[in-house]
Amino acid sequence: MAAPEMAAARDDLAEVPEFRDPATGELRQETMIINMGPQHPSTHGVLRLVVELDGETVIRCSPVIGYLHTGIEKNCEYRTWTQGITYVTRADYLSPFFNELAYCLGVERLLGIEAPERARLIRVLVCELNRVASHLVWLATGGLELGAVSMALYGFREREIILDVFEAITGLRMNHAYIRIGGVLMDLPDEGPRKIRDLLRVIPRRIDEYETILDENPIWRERNEGIGVLSAEQALAFGVTGPLLRASGVAADLRKDMPYCGYETFEFDVPVRTEGDAYARYLIRIAEMRESLRIAEQAIDRLDGTPGPVMVDDPKVGWPPKLSVGPDGIGNDPAYLRHIMEESMEALIHHFKMVTQGAQVPAGEVFSAVESPRGELGYLLVSDGGNRPYRVKIRDPSFVNLQALPTAVEGYLIADLIAAIASFDPVMGGVDR
């Protein structure tokens, strides 16, 4: 349209009575409210944001959540304690091992038992690899949203290497239900340590490559620096934990502050920065991946010198009792089947009781928390003394962190909203549960 025509069109619009204030006759100067989501590609699932805009500036943002609510907490009340693991591992689907770990540590505290040393090392190992895999998804999706499309390919490519290892260890790529009450499902397969060592050689070099691509990339810095800033006071007031809090200058990490699974015996650093912006969060997560690989390396070294069971020796708790890998995958161990079917009536009774009823857990209430890739992941577990949970409450870090999003984006441009959401790394499976 040529300029005179445009001016004419604008004049025509000005003639429309609805565009004028009825009282004063002035052209109305209003803000616009738009709906982002729940299917907007940059909201990482089904997050919906109602955003009020003045031109391109966000003046109000309110998250609307719940689109992925699946009633995991209620479902757990209708299943045995062991079966609960299959539910909780699906809450925050990018960090399944952390959900399993926090839940199982809580049940173990109720039972007053502790997993054997080897099981604790395997737990640390898989959790730290899971942290790397989770941060890689964040890097891939976050990069994609800001136009660094190659990051999407690289991030998922490296995550695939880790998921292959998970598949070799647990039989599944996601939602493993591998960490069990009293230990882990089964010991590492014979080729497990070698696969993990291969992975530990490859991933650090790839992280170097990401840094070469992004660290000094002017577009990446321009779009992340000074965006979505949270001060330490704001972060603490909103209960923010994890990399977001550490990017705002608070060195809080449950692995150091209240160690579990023997984290106090591992050597690692907790990266902290003070800028509190999206770029600081990027640097923190990259540094955390390196620290996680450091821990995983120590864990795999120590596993060599730590033989032993990976499940407590208690037939009233330990489940599954013994599995092995056959030609068609993981299944019952033939020797164990022979034992319960032909040799020991006692063992068969225990097996039958565990299958039909599961473990009996003493009455009580515990809150068990671990440091997940997104912050403090806590489980409040209440038992009334039966074989099923009376209450399972998941304190998911994404849910709590998301509350701080409006504070971090209001006053910025709508394009920066995308970068800010990406830097929060919310996983809606965890937020909505």
Partner 1 sequence: MNADELAARIREHAPDVLAARGEVTAIVERHDLIDTLEWLHDQPDLAFDLLSSITATHWPGADPAFWVDYELRSMSLRHRARVKVGLRGGDERTPSVVGLYPTANWHERETFDFYGIVFEGHPDLTRILLPDDWDGHPLRKDEPLGGVPTWFRGATMPPIDERGMA
Tokens of 95: 């960090």
Is 433 near partner 1 (CB under 8 A)?
Answer: yes
Is 110 near partner 1 (CB under 8 A)?
Answer: yes
Is 109 near partner 1 (CB under 8 A)?
Answer: yes
Tokens of 38: 């729940």
Tokens of 119: 């099981």
Residues 13-72 touching partner 1, rule: CB under 8 A, are 65-66, 69, 71
| β 183-184/323-326 pair status | unpaired
In angstroms, what CA-CA distances link 142 with 44, 158, 179, 423? 9, 15, 29, 7
Q: Supply the minimum distance, in Å, between the C-beta of residue 51 and partner 1.
A: 17
Count of other CB atoms within 10 angstroms of residue 153:
12
Report the residue from 87, 98, 103, 238 that binds partner 1 according to the rule CB under 8 A. Answer: 238
Classify residue 247 by its DSSP letter: H
Pairwise CA distance, residues 141 & 153, whole Å: 9
Pairwise CA distance, residues 370 & 386, whole Å: 25
Q: Supply the minimum distance, in Å, between the C-beta of residue 126 and partner 1.
A: 25
Residue number, 43 or 170, with CB nearest to partner 1: 43
Report the residue from 367, 385, 411, 415 that binds partner 1 according to the rule CB under 8 A. Answer: 367
Residue number, 140 or 181, with CB nearest to partner 1: 181
Q: Supply the minimum distance, in Å, between the C-beta of residue 417 and partner 1.
A: 19
Whether the Cβ atoms of residue 34 and residue 53 lie closer than 8 Å to each other = yes
Options 324-332, 340-348, 400-408, 413-421: segment touching partner 1 (CB under 8 A): 400-408
Is 386 near partner 1 (CB under 8 A)?
Answer: no
Is 371 near partner 1 (CB under 8 A)?
Answer: no
CA atoms within 13 A on the CB side of 213: 20
For 145-189, strand residue ranges (E) read 179-180, 183-184
Report the residue from 250, 261, 317, 340 that binds partner 1 according to the rule CB under 8 A. Answer: 250
Report the residue from 100, 187, 297, 376 that binds partner 1 according to the rule CB under 8 A. Answer: 376
Is 264 near partner 1 (CB under 8 A)?
Answer: no
Q: C-alpha angle 186/187/191, rounded to 5°?
A: 125
Is 113 near partner 1 (CB under 8 A)?
Answer: no
70, 76, 79, 85: CA torsion to nearest 10: 100
Residue number, 206 or 391, with CB nearest to partner 1: 391
The interaxial angle of helices 117-145 and 96-111, nearest 10 deg, is: 150
Whose CA is closest to 188, among 266, 119, 94, 95?
119
Tokens of 99: 């959900």
Is 406 near partner 1 (CB under 8 A)?
Answer: no
Is 382 near partner 1 (CB under 8 A)?
Answer: yes
Is 241 near partner 1 (CB under 8 A)?
Answer: yes
Residue number, 105 or 293, with CB nearest to partner 1: 105
Q: Supply the minimum distance, in Å, between the C-beta of residue 240 and partner 1.
A: 8
Q: Supply the minimum distance, in Å, between the C-beta of residue 394 and partner 1.
A: 9
Pairwise CA distance, residues 407 & 411, whole Å: 9
How many Å is the Cα radius of gyration of the chain? 25
For 307-363, strand residue ranges (E) read 323-326, 329-332
Look at the block and give the residue holding tokens 């920065």. Answer: 273
Q: Supply the minimum distance, in Å, between the C-beta of residue 378 and partner 1.
A: 6
Pairwise CA distance, residues 181 & 201, whole Å: 32
Residues 306-345, one symbol each (x = binds partner 1 by CB under 8 A, - = not), give ----------------------------------------
**Mapping DSSP to helix (H, G, I), strand (E, B) and coil, where does residue 122 land?**
helix
Is 83 near partner 1 (CB under 8 A)?
Answer: no
Options 27-35, 123-131, 365-373, 421-429: segment touching partner 1 (CB under 8 A): 365-373
Is 74 near partner 1 (CB under 8 A)?
Answer: yes
User: How does DSSP assign 409-424, residue by residue?
Assistant: HTTSBHHHHHHHHHHH
For 118-241, strand residue ranges (E) read 179-180, 183-184
Pairwise CA distance, residues 421 & 409, whole Å: 9
Report the residue from 81, 98, 260, 399 that binds partner 1 according to the rule CB under 8 A. Answer: 399
Is 126 near partner 1 (CB under 8 A)?
Answer: no
Residue number, 154 or 238, with CB nearest to partner 1: 238
Residue number, 57 or 75, with CB nearest to partner 1: 75
Residues lying near partner 1 in the complex (CB under 8 A): 65-66, 69, 71, 73-75, 77-78, 109-110, 112, 236-239, 241, 250, 252, 257-258, 364-367, 369, 376, 378, 380, 382, 390-391, 393, 395, 399-400, 402-403, 432-433
